[in-house]
Amino acid sequence: MKFTLKLLSIVLTNLLLFLLVIAMTEGIFRIAGIPYSKVKYIPDENSFARFDQELGWSYIPNKSSIHNTEHIAKPVYFEENGFRAPYPGFEFDYSKPSILFIGDSFTMGHGLTYEESFVGKFSATIKGTPFQAVNLGVQGYGSDQALLALKRHLHKFNTKAVVYTYIEDHLLRNGNYDRAMLVPTAEFLGTKPQFALTVGKKLYLSKKPLLYKDYFRSYLIDFLKMRVGKLTGSFPPHPADLTRAIIYEMKKFSIEHDADFVVLNWRQVHNNYDDLCRDLVNVDVIDTLEGAPDGWKEMVLYGGIHPNAEAGDHAARLLFNYFRAKDLIREDSAR
């Protein structure tokens, strides 16, 4: 009996010491700002975005601002829904046949005026038709947020087609709940939504966005996830099956609402995840590498990843040719 009590005392003492060390380490990490920087930069787009309880973040309706990024400053305007618009006071015609564009900063037109973005250029090419282009793209979105934005807004318009711009980064974004883990030096508005798959591969929403004041995160655990995960190749996660399931849900939702669906697979070069879009079943995919002009790889802003205005010409042309071949755009009819 005495031996058992002594053993129990040793175990409890060691457990308490272990918990004390964990708590002290957590405190040290928080004070030191590890793995998150104590001095954070605020992304410029925060000035025209707000926390969104469903999407994580979205643009402020009827907002006009200047987007300062990558040594350039360009005006940005948003209409009553928070969609990017060509000028202040712009209004969509909700009865007009519409093509909705969903995605992230590539779709939004990061670092470009509306007219320089590929959505803006595509809009110019269909000016003589009954159609209008609607830009739902938001910086930093993954496929998951694009899907939720589509489900929120599609019914507002006479939607005839949906274009989802896919980039390789969407894989890691779809597997991530706290964007700060991907960019530890930035001050974001909150966490993001996250989907998961059941054992039967059914898609469901596993986490909803939270403001950081309502979200507890362990700096120590995050540090271990990030450091050990990078060594083992498990961080950041790249959930291909989840991403495909989200894209299939985009198409399913579009078709259910009598809208065509197409993926614009935006690639500057061949990458490690080329098979994701190639393996999509019964989904139309437009590959930006097909027929790409000379110098396509360099058609980015200041050596970054975001496409420049010249790249937008190519993407808009591919989309126009696709819709014309599918007989989705006709000057004499609104389908």
- Assess whether 19 and 89 both reside in one domain: no
pLDDT digits (tens, 9 = 90+) for 270-280: 887 888 998 99
pLDDT band at 127, cuts 50/70/90?
very high
- Assess whether 102 and 74 both reside in one domain: yes
Please check whether residue 37 lies inside any domain of the structure: no
- Assess whether 28 and 56 both reside in one domain: no
Q: What is the mean pLDDT of residues 114-120?
A: 98
- Assess whether 268 and 137 both reside in one domain: yes
100 close to 153: Cβ distance less than 8 angstroms: yes
Please check whether residue 204 lies inside any domain of the structure: yes
Q: Mean pLDDT lowest for which of 83-97, 254-268, 297-311? A: 297-311
pLDDT digits (tens, 9 = 90+) for 239-263: 999 999 999 999 999 999 999 999 9
Please check whether residue 126 lies inside any domain of the structure: yes
pLDDT band at 180, cuts 50/70/90?
very high
pLDDT digits (tens, 9 = 90+) for 147-176: 999 999 999 999 999 999 999 999 999 999
Percent over 90 (pLDDT), the chain: 79
- Assess whether 20 and 123 both reside in one domain: no
Backbone angles phi, psi at 208, to 5 degrees: -105, 155
- Assess whether 235 and 114 both reside in one domain: yes
- Assess whether 132 and 217 both reside in one domain: yes
Please check whether residue 39 lies inside any domain of the structure: no
Please check whether residue 331 lies inside any domain of the structure: no
- Assess whether 237 and 210 both reside in one domain: yes
Please check whether residue 332 lies inside any domain of the structure: no
- Assess whether 145 and 230 both reside in one domain: yes
Q: Read off the pTM.
A: 0.94
Q: What pLDDT is recorded for position 10?
A: 85
- Assess whether 12 and 147 both reside in one domain: no
Please check whether residue 239 lies inside any domain of the structure: yes
pLDDT digits (tens, 9 = 90+) for 24-75: 999 999 989 899 987 788 988 899 999 999 999 999 999 999 998 877 899 9
137 close to 101: Cβ distance less than 8 angstroms: yes
What whole-number distance in Å separates Cα of residue 61 and Cα of residue 218?
A: 34
In the predicted structure, residue 105 carries a pLDDT above the cut 70: yes
pLDDT band at 333, cuts 50/70/90?
very low
- Assess whether 129 and 218 both reside in one domain: yes
Domain hosting residue 18, numbered range: 1-32
Q: What pLDDT is recorded for position 1?
A: 67
By C-alpha distance, which of 264, 334, 317 is closest to 98?
A: 334
Q: What pLDDT is recorded for position 11?
A: 83
pLDDT band at 334, cuts 50/70/90?
very low
* Number of domains the chain contains: 2
Q: Taking each helix axis from N to C terminus, what angle separates 2-32 and 219-232, rounded to the nearest 10 degrees?
A: 80
> How many C-alpha atoms does 112 have within 13 Å on its Cβ side?
28
Cα dihedral sign, 260-208-276-101: positive
184 close to 38: Cβ distance less than 8 angstroms: no
Please check whether residue 59 lies inside any domain of the structure: yes
Q: What pLDDT is recorded for position 331?
A: 57
- Assess whether 2 and 94 both reside in one domain: no
In the predicted structure, residue 335 carries a pLDDT above the cut 60: no
In the predicted structure, residue 332 carries a pLDDT above the cut 70: no
127 close to 316: Cβ distance less than 8 angstroms: no
SS3 annotation, the chain: CHHHHHHHHHHHHHHHHHHHHHHHHHHHHHHHCCCCCCCCECCHHHHHEEEECCCEEEECCCCEEEEEECCEEEEEEECCCCCEECCCCCCCCCCCEEEEEECCHHHHCCCCCCCCCHHHHHHHHCCCCCCEEEECCCCCCCHHHHHHHHHHHHHHCEEEEEEEEECCHHHHHHCCCCHHHCCCCECCCCCCCEEEECCCCCEEEEECCCCHHHCCCCHHHHHHHHHHHHHHCCCCCCCHHHHHHHHHHHHHHHHHCCCEEEEEECCCCCCCCHHHHHCCCCCEEEECCCCCCCCHHHCECCCCCCECHHHHHHHHHHHHHHHHHCCCCECCECC
Residue 131 maps to which CATH number?
A: 3.40.50.1110
